[in-house]
Structure 1
Amino acid sequence: MREANAEYSELERRLLNDFQRDLPLSPTPYADMAARLGVDEQTVLETLAGLQARGAISRVGPVFRPNSIGVSTLAAMAVPAPQLEQVAAYLNDLPQVNHNYEREHEFNLWFVVTAADRDELDAVLDQIEAWSGCPVLDLPMLEDYFIDLGFDLNFDQRGRRQ
């Protein structure tokens, strides 16, 4: 059986693992990352671009507590199966959509939308509905829970530290 981490170079594994949280908060975060990794800033930028091109990462940047800067909402749509990939790709291209994912449910496409204010957020949801022809279910957060979504990638498929 092929090890999942074997697909990545040592530098790629370090970038994926070591910077899931605590990204340097400075005017030069990529240079700071490079210094910690013992490479130059251009190598970090090129490696991250390569990981993004391969689909290993979607973005690099901060995650802010919901509604602490601007507004956000969780949204869901019931998208006909033949349209699902096309609608997901459309959502991926919207700068206000953080991420989207498929679920095995009547509402099979879920995503998070952020905007400067509620009017802009509503306009984005309306735009998605108009483009897709599918109603958008707006599910604003009533209470927040912190779930750390970081994963230690220094283990193989059998749970042994690499």
Structure 2
Amino acid sequence: MDATDRALLNRLQDGIPLVDRPFAAVGEELGLSEDAVLARVAAMKGAGVLSRFGPMFHAERMGGGLTLAAMAVPAEDFDRVAGQVNAFPEVAHNYAREHALNMWFVVATETPERVAAVCAAIEERTGLPVYPFPKLAEYYLNLRFKA
């Protein structure tokens, strides 16, 4: 990752302009072509610098459901269970943690009622209980990482 990649990452954290050619607009700010911006983002994603690049949606505001969920997974089964959990299209942001509940992930669904059904399906597939932690309040932190 070079200085241009860092500048691009820092800029993209501020949002992408809602214009016909957003990557061209970002590129213009940074002295890059649209193709260069797209190529750099793809290269950083391919190299694992970015794990995900895409929009952030507020599922609840769109009529959907959302919960943070956790599981207690035996260490020897962790990779297998992670694969089973990640196979659900409703699952995102699956992380290992050093805690009795050592697997944490987000379940986002098209309807609030579907959250419980997805958690139940994960339990059935893995044979392990899923502990949902629904959001009670939302705090906006404007979190940024300096690249």
Q: Classify the TM-score, shorter chain.
A: 0.7 to 0.9
Aligned residue pair count: 146
After TM superposition, the score normalised by the length of structure 2 is 0.82
Q: What's 2:53 paired with?
A: 60
Q: What's 1:78 paired with?
A: 72
Output one character per residue of 1:15-64: Cα deviation in whole Å (capped at 9) or x when no partner.
22221132223343222222222222222222212211222112222324
Q: What's 1:113 paired with?
A: 107
Q: Are the equivalent residues in 1 in contact too, given 2:59–2:110 (CA < 8 A)? A: no
1:121-136 superposed matches below 5 A: 121-136=115-130
Kindly, what percent of the aligned residue pairs are identical? 40
Runs of 4+ residues deviating >6 angstroms: none
Q: What's 1:150 paired with?
A: 144
Output one character per residue of 1:133-158: Cα deviation in whole Å (capped at 9) or x when no partner.
221111111122222321223xxxxx
Counterpart residue identity of residue 63, structure 1: M
After TM superposition, the score normalised by the length of structure 1 is 0.76
Q: Are the equivalent residues in 1 in contact too, given 2:72–2:101 (CA < 8 A)? A: yes
29, 32, 35: which one aligns with 2:28: 35
6, 12, 20: which one aligns with 1:19: 12
Q: What's 1:46 paired with?
A: 39
> Pairwise CA RMSD of aligned residues?
2.2
